Structure 1
Amino acid sequence: MNQLIDQYSDEIVQIFGEASAQLQTLPEELKEQALALLGKCYPLNRKDNEGPNMISYLLPYWVGETLGSPIELCRELAVGNLYGMVSFFLLDDVMDEKREVRRSLALSTLLNQRFLEAYQRCFSVDSQLWACYNRYLAEWADAMYREVDEPMDPRDPGRLARKAAPVKLCAAALLLQAGRAPEIRVMETAIDLALAVLQLSDDWTDWLEDLPTASCNAFLVLLGENLQLEAGEILDESMVKRSIYREQALGGLAILASDYADQLSAMKNAPASLQIFSSSIAQSLQSKANEIRDRYDSLLNDGGFSVYLTING
C-alpha cells in the first residue's frame, strides 16, 4: 500500500500540518495528548510508510478524484476526518478501558466538535448531509453497544464496517456537492466493503488482546465456529495458536477478506484507490496465511512442530 501513501505525500504533509497548527488552540492540558495521538497516525514517520488508518484521511481524496471535486473541499474534509478519527479512537479506548476516562472524554468531545466544524464550513444546517451524519453515528453507536452482547458476524460486511461508519460522511458530502445524492447508498456499500476488510485484518492483528472478549473479534468467532466448542468452553491462547497452525484458521479469514475485496473491485463506479486499499489488505492476509501454512508444513516434515508448540503454546 506504499503507493497510496506516496501518491498523496504532499497532501498528507499539508493536512497533518493544518490539523497540528489548529490543535495548538486546545486547552494546554489536552493539547499535548491530542498532538501525540495525531503524531502516531502520521504515516510518513512510520518505518513501513503506511499507517493503518489511511482510509480516514485519504478517503476524501479517493472519492473526490472519482467525482472531480475541488481539491480545497477534499482537504477541508480530510482535516475534519483527522479530528473525527482521533475522537473516535479515544471513545473506543475508553470503552475498552485503555485510557483514563475523564481526560479522554473531554478531548474526544473537543475533537468531535472540530470534526463537525470542518463540515459545517462547507455545508448549510439544512443540508441532507446532517441526516447522513445522524445515520452514521447511529450505526457506530449500534456497533459499540452490540459488540458486548452479540457475537460479531464475520459474514456481515455491513456490521463489520459499523465501528468506522462516521468515515463515510466525507463521501456523502462530496456526492452532495457534486449533485449526485442518489449515488450515496452505492458509495456507502463500497466503503463498507473496504471497512469490513480492514476490520477483519485488525481482528487478526488484535486477537490476543481481544481474547478475554472473544465474541467481539471476527477472527476468534470464526475460529470458535471451526473448533465447534462445547457450551461454556472458552478459547485460550494455546488453543488459538494450535488452531492457527493445525487448522490453518487464518485461511478462512483471508478468504472472507478476499471475497469482500473482490465484490468492491466489481463495483465499476467505486474509487480506484479504495479498491486498491482493500485488495492490498486482503492480499496481505492471504500472504500471511500462506506463510503460516508453509511454516507448518516445514515444521511437520522436520518433526519440529511439537517443539514449536512447547515453546510457544
Structure 2
Amino acid sequence: MNRLIDPYSDEIARIFGDTSAQLQTLPEELREHALALLGGCYPLDRKDSEGPNMISYLLPYWVGETLGSPIELCRELALGNVYGMLSFFLLDDVMDERREVRRSLALSTLLNQRFLEAYQRCFSGNAQLWVCYHRYLAEWADAMYREVDEPMNPRDPGRLARKAAPVKLCAAALLLQAGRAQEIRGMETAIDLALAVLQLSDDWTDWREDLPMASCNAFLVLLRENLALHADEVLDESMVKRSIYREQALGGLATLANDYADRLNAMKDAPASLQIFASAIAQSLQSKANEIRDRYDALLNNGGFSIYLTING
C-alpha cells in the first residue's frame, strides 16, 4: 500500500494536521476522544500504512487527478472526508455496541456536521450534489438496517459497498465541478467495485468478531453455503477453522475479490490509483489463500496430527 500512500504523504500530513487543529475547538469532554480517534487513523506513522482507510481521504485526489481538478478543492473534500470517516466509524461502533453510546453519538453528530460543512463551502448552491448525498446516505442506512435480518450477498458488489457509500460524495462533487455530471453513475460503479473488494477483505479479517451475527459477514455467508448448513444450524469457530484449512474456504472469497478488481481494471475511465488500491487488496487475499493452501499441503505430507493442531490450536 505504500506506493499509494507515499506520493501523497505531504497532502496527508496537511489534511490530518488541519483536522487536528480544527478538532481543538470541540467541547473539552469530546476533544480528547476525537483526537485519539484521528490519531488511530493517521497512516504515516504506521507500518501497515492504514491501507483500508486510505480510500476515505485519498479518493478526492485520485478522482481529481483523473479530472484535472484544482488541488485546493481536492484538499477541502479530503478534509471533509476525514470528518465523515470518523463520524461513520463512531456510528459503526454504536451499532456494534463496542463503545459507550452517548459519547459516540454526540461526537459522531459533530464530526458529520464538519464533513458537510467542508462540502457546503465549495458546493452550497449545487442542488444536484445534495441529491447524490441523500442517495448515498440512504444506501448506507439500508445496508445498516438490512444486515440485521438479511444475509449479506457476497456476489452483489453494490450491496457490499453500501456501508461505505458516503465516500462517493467527493467523486460526485468533482465530476459536477468539472461539468461531467453524466459520468457520475459510471464513477459510482467503479468506486462500488473497489469498496466491495475492501468489504470482502474486512469480512475475512473480522470473521471471529462477526461469528455471533454471521449473516452480516460475506466470508461466513460463503462458508455456510459451502458447508450446506441449514438456517437453524449454528456456525462455530472450530467449523470455520476446519473449512479454512480443509476446504480452502478463503479461496472462494479471494476469487470474488479478484473478479471485482478485474471488472474495475477493465473500466478505462476509472482512476488508476483506485484500480491499484482494489487490485492490491484482492492480491493480498489471494496470497493469503495460497499460503493457507501450501501450508495445509505441507502439513498433510507431514502427518495428520500437525493438521489437527493447526486447525484446533
Corresponding residue for residue 217 of structure 1: 217
CA RMSD of aligned residues (A): 0.8
- Judge conservation of contact 1:172–1:181 (CA < 8 Å) in 2: yes
- Judge conservation of contact 2:60–2:77 (CA < 8 Å) in 1: yes
1:188 aligns to 2:188 (yes or no): yes
* DSSP 3-state at the match of 2:122: coil
Structure-1 separation of matches of 2:244 and 2:31: 42
Runs of at least 5 residues in structure 2 that lack an aligned partner in the other structure: none
Q: Which letter does structure 1 place at the counterpart of 2:247?
A: E
Corresponding residue for residue 24 of structure 1: 24
- Judge conservation of contact 1:87–1:112 (CA < 8 Å) in 2: yes
Corresponding residue for residue 297 of structure 2: 297
Q: Which letter does structure 2 place at the counterpart of 1:73?
A: L
Paired-residue identity, %: 85
Corresponding residue for residue 154 of structure 1: 154
* DSSP 3-state at the match of 1:179: coil
* DSSP 3-state at the match of 1:152: coil
Structure-1 separation of matches of 2:311 and 2:49: 33
Corresponding residue for residue 52 of structure 2: 52
Shift in Å at residue 48 of structure 1?
Answer: 2.0
Corresponding residue for residue 308 of structure 1: 310
Normalized against structure 2, the TM-score is what? 0.98
1:257-296 deviation per Cα after TM superposition (whole angstroms, max 9, x unaligned): 0000000000000000000000000000000000000000
Structure-2 separation of matches of 1:107 and 1:193: 30
Structure-2 separation of matches of 1:154 and 1:7: 33
Shift in Å at residue 247 of structure 1?
Answer: 0.3
- Structure 1's consecutive aligned runs of 4 or more residues displaced over 4 angstroms after TM superposition are none
* DSSP 3-state at the match of 1:32: helix
1:106-152 deviation per Cα after TM superposition (whole angstroms, max 9, x unaligned): 00000000000000000123431000000000000000000000000
- Judge conservation of contact 1:15–1:78 (CA < 8 Å) in 2: yes
- Judge conservation of contact 1:164–1:195 (CA < 8 Å) in 2: yes
Corresponding residue for residue 282 of structure 1: 282
Structure-2 separation of matches of 1:93 and 1:50: 18
Q: Which letter does structure 2 place at the counterpart of 1:308?
A: T
* DSSP 3-state at the match of 1:166: helix
* DSSP 3-state at the match of 1:52: helix
* DSSP 3-state at the match of 1:235: coil
- Judge conservation of contact 2:245–2:311 (CA < 8 Å) in 1: no
Structure-2 separation of matches of 1:43 and 1:299: 37
Name the stretch that deviates more: 246-255 or 42-51.
42-51
Structure-2 separation of matches of 1:164 and 1:92: 11
Which residues of 2 match residues 120-131 of structure 1 at below 5 A? 120-131=120-131
Q: Which letter does structure 1 place at the counterpart of 2:172?
A: A
Structure-2 separation of matches of 1:88 and 1:50: 17
Structure-2 separation of matches of 1:3 and 1:152: 32
Corresponding residue for residue 230 of structure 1: 230
Structure-2 separation of matches of 1:181 and 1:191: 16
1:6-32 deviation per Cα after TM superposition (whole angstroms, max 9, x unaligned): 111010000000000001000000010
Which residues of 2 match residues 112-127 of structure 1 at below 5 A? 112-127=112-127
Name the stretch that deviates more: 212-221 or 124-133.
124-133
Corresponding residue for residue 133 of structure 1: 133
Corresponding residue for residue 65 of structure 2: 65
Q: Which letter does structure 2 place at the counterpart of 1:177?
A: Q
Structure 1 residues 308 and 173 mapped into 2: Cα distance closer, same or farther (>3 Å)? same
- Judge conservation of contact 2:41–2:50 (CA < 8 Å) in 1: no
Which residues of 2 match residues 3-22 of structure 1 at below 5 A? 3-22=3-22
Corresponding residue for residue 91 of structure 1: 91
Q: Which letter does structure 1 place at the counterpart of 2:53?
A: N
Shift in Å at residue 67 of structure 1?
Answer: 0.1
Structure 1 residues 124 and 309 mapped into 2: Cα distance closer, same or farther (>3 Å)? closer
Q: Which letter does structure 1 place at the counterpart of 2:42?
A: Y
1:64-88 deviation per Cα after TM superposition (whole angstroms, max 9, x unaligned): 0000000000000000000000000
Corresponding residue for residue 201 of structure 2: 201
Structure-1 separation of matches of 2:50 and 2:207: 21
Shift in Å at residue 47 of structure 1?
Answer: 1.7
* DSSP 3-state at the match of 1:13: helix
- Judge conservation of contact 1:42–1:51 (CA < 8 Å) in 2: no
Normalized against structure 1, the TM-score is what? 0.98
Count of residue pairs the alignment pairs up: 311
Shift in Å at residue 49 of structure 1?
Answer: 2.7
Runs of at least 5 residues in structure 1 that lack an aligned partner in the other structure: none
